[in-house]
């Protein structure tokens, strides 16, 4: 009898069980509290303690007795507020950091988008723009190298005393926070356009991502691969059949049309599929040209140009090379100093609480 019971337990599979369905009752769902709550994600949970962050952030936001935090997983959390104005203040002061590493914060929604908590809104500073290219269209194009441009801080009718242009971008945290981009100038030369990120404390010194330290960078690990998973070809399992994974393009090549959404990219890939190589290349060029035309046509209309040059301004933090050899367990003892360029005054009078109290 015991043997039969043991065999029956071994034969059981979780996949055979029907999914659990909770009763459609208010007792099993949270509705009212979620309406005034934030959902968040720690970008570097290896260096960010969830329990300590939940205890610390309400003090930083000065709403200690009007908010409570909930740890949902190792890197996901929720803060439930008592007052709408407190929630709005926290949202307006993003991005926030804990223990020098950033975290994503968004208002709770019943139908989150596909990229929910994968991006943050951050103000960047663009330096070294040549005088011949000093236009709003150029600023939009340069800021687009970092992320989706939401707003550009520029007033062409007043004197410009700063040696940088500020832009608010929607930054994908899975991508590197690039520090510069080469730009061609007349007569065949190039200039290095520099990007700085306000309120962002730390990033990997190797791949420039906000999700890990250099000592934990997957691109430096022995045997690690820097390839894009979307471009991986057939995978062979030992002793099994060939498993073909979905491809966005030929194996080993960059993904075509990365600026398009997933659905638009599928349509574009179907359009360029043609047996004749010449016709296929012509179709690729048409799609690229159409994408560029749409960007130029919509840049001025969709991107807001604000004349508040210091809107949402915060510090730009810089670290010495000493941090390259520091592990995350000791980094909380080192405080980043705001980077200041020659002739630039301190931004203490305009910085938000996100930069004043973001370090643990």
| Band of pLDDT at residue 300, cut at 50, 70 and 90 | very low
Any idea which of 28-32, 186-190, 231-235 has the lowest mean pLDDT? Answer: 231-235
- Determine the pLDDT at residue 339: 58
Task: Report the helix count and the strand count for the chain, using DSSP H and E.
Answer: 7, 15
Any idea which of 29-33, 45-49, 170-174 has the lowest mean pLDDT? Answer: 29-33
Phi, psi dihedrals of residue 107, rounded to the nearest 5°: -70, 145
Which of 184, 248, 172 is closest to 210 using CA atoms? Answer: 172
- Determine the pLDDT at residue 346: 44
- Range among 11-20, 122-131, 229-238 rated most confident: 122-131
In total, the chain counts a number of residues equal to: 360
* pTM over 0.75, yes/no: no
Residues 6+ positions from 304 with CB-CB distance below 8 Å: 150, 151, 152
pLDDT at 229 over 50: no
Determine contact, residues 56/79, Cβ cutoff 8 Å.
Answer: no
258-285 burial by CB neighbour count: b if 16+ within 10 A, else e? eebeeeebeebbeebeeeeeeeeeebbe
Cα–Cα dist 204/213, whole Å: 5
Cα–Cα dist 146/170, whole Å: 8
State the DSSP string of 142-186: HHTTTSEEEEEE--TTS---SSEEEEEEEEETTS----EEEEE-G
State the DSSP string of 53-105: HHHHHHHHTT-GGGEEEEE-SSSEEEEEES-HHHHHHHHHT--EEETTEEEEE
Which of 273, 269, 252 is closest to 261 using CA atoms? Answer: 269
DSSP alpha helices (H): ranges in the chain?
2-11, 50-60, 84-92, 136-143, 262-272, 277-302, 353-356
| Band of pLDDT at residue 295, cut at 50, 70 and 90 | low
- Percentage of the residues of the chain whose pLDDT score is greater than 90: 42
Determine contact, residues 204/214, Cβ cutoff 8 Å.
Answer: yes
Please, what are the domains in the chain? 31-107 (3.30.70.330), 119-216+305-356 (no CATH), 248-287 (no CATH)
Any idea which of 144-153, 205-214, 219-228 has the lowest mean pLDDT? Answer: 219-228
45 membership: H or E segment, kind and range: none
pLDDT at 9 over 50: yes
How confident is the prediction for the chain on average, in pLDDT?
76
| Band of pLDDT at residue 108, cut at 50, 70 and 90 | very high
Class of residue 256 by CB neighbours under 10 A (exposed 0-12, middle 13-18, buried 19+): middle
- Determine the pLDDT at residue 110: 83
Tell me which long-range contacts 140-143 makes (C-beta under 8 A, separation of at least 24): 140/167, 140/299, 140/300, 140/303, 141/299, 142/181, 142/183, 142/193, 143/167, 143/169
Determine contact, residues 210/43, Cβ cutoff 8 Å.
Answer: yes
Strands 96-98 and 164-172 turn out to be unpaired
pLDDT digits (tens, 9 = 90+) for 302-321: 557 776 777 777 778 765 44
Stretch 8-36: mean pLDDT, rounded? 73
pLDDT at 204 over 80: yes
pLDDT digits (tens, 9 = 90+) for 267-290: 778 777 777 888 778 888 877 777
- Range among 248-257, 304-313, 329-338 rated most confident: 304-313
Query: In this structure, is the dihedral angle defined by the CA atoms of residues 53, 55, 59 and 62, taken in order, positive or negative?
Result: positive
Cα–Cα dist 125/139, whole Å: 10
> Both ends of the chain: CA-CA distance in Å?
60
pLDDT digits (tens, 9 = 90+) for 148-164: 999 999 988 889 899 99
């Amino acid at each position: 009898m015991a043997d039969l019971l043991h065999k029956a337990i071994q034969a059981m599979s979780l996949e055979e069980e029907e999914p659990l369905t909770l009763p459609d009752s208010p007792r099993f769902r949270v509705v009212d509290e979620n309406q005034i709550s934030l959902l968040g994600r720690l970008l570097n949970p290896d260096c960010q303690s969830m329990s300590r962050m939940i205890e610390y952030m309400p003090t930083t936001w000065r709403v200690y007795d009007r908010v409570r935090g909930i740890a949902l997983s190792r890197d996901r959390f929720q803060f439930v507020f008592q007052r709408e104005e407190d929630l709005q203040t926290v949202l307006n002061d993003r991005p926030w950091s804990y223990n020098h590493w950033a975290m994503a914060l968004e208002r709770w929604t019943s139908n989150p988008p596909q990229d929910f908590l994968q991006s943050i809104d951050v103000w960047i500073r663009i330096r070294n723009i040549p005088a011949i290219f000093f236009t709003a269209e150029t600023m939009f194009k340069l800021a687009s190298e970092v992320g989706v441009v939401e707003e550009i801080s520029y007033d062409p009718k007043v004197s410009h005393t700063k040696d940088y242009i500020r832009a608010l971008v929607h930054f994908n945290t899975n991508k590197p926070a690039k520090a510069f981009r080469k730009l061609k100038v007349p007569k065949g030369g190039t200039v290095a356009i520099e990007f700085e990120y306000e309120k962002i404390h730390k990033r990997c010194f190797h791949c420039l991502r906000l999700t890990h330290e250099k000592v934990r960078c997957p691109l430096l690990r022995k045997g690690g691969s820097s390839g894009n998973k979307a471009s991986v070809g057939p995978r062979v399992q030992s002793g099994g059949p060939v498993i073909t994974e979905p491809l966005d393009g030929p194996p080993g090549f960059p993904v075509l049309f990365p600026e398009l959404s997933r659905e638009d990219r599928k349509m574009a890939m179907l359009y360029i599929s043609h047996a004749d190589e010449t016709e296929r290349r012509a179709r690729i060029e048409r799609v690229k040209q159409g994408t560029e035309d749409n960007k130029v046509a919509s840049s001025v209309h969709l991107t807001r140009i604000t004349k508040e040059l210091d809107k949402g301004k915060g510090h730009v933090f810089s670290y010495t090379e000493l941090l390259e050899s520091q592990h995350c367990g000791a980094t909380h003892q080192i405080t980043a100093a705001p980077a200041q360029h020659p002739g630039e005054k301190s931004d203490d009078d305009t910085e938000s609480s996100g930069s004043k109290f973001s370090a643990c």
